[in-house]
Amino acid sequence: MTDSKITYDKNGNARSFTGDAVMVFQAAALRSGLGLMAVGIKPHRTWTSLKLALEQAGKYTGAKYSGKKDIERARADLSEWIHMQKGKYS
């Protein structure tokens, strides 16, 4: 998509994601959800499986994660991926 971008407000907060940049928002939401799952909170009623959440993280980062022990690694990898992608769409 040629009009993919992230727009920011005057304080530097992301306000809109268009086109392929939506994946950045999805990855950020996944990273936050994994943080909740790490402390035993289910972010949403449809988040039923840590395994599936970690598989989704792997789709962004290219790494394989398995189990609760890999949550923080997945979150760190997602943070790095998000940071790299923001440069493309800003």
User: How many folded domains does the chain comprise?
Assistant: 1
Hey, what are 18's tokens?
Answer: 């268009």
Helices (H), 1-90: 22-38, 50-61, 71-89
In the 8-state DSSP scheme, what is residue 44?
A: S
pTM of the predicted protein model: 0.86
Range of the domain at 59: 5-89
Q: What is the pLDDT of residues 30-52, one digit of tens each?
A: 999 999 999 999 998 888 899 99
Q: What is the pLDDT of residues 6-19, one digit of tens each?
A: 888 898 888 888 88
Q: Which of 26, 27, 25, 53 is nearest to 38 (CA)?
A: 53
In the 8-state DSSP scheme, what is residue 62?
A: S
Phi-psi region of 26 (alpha: psi -120 to 50; beta: other; left: phi over 0): alpha
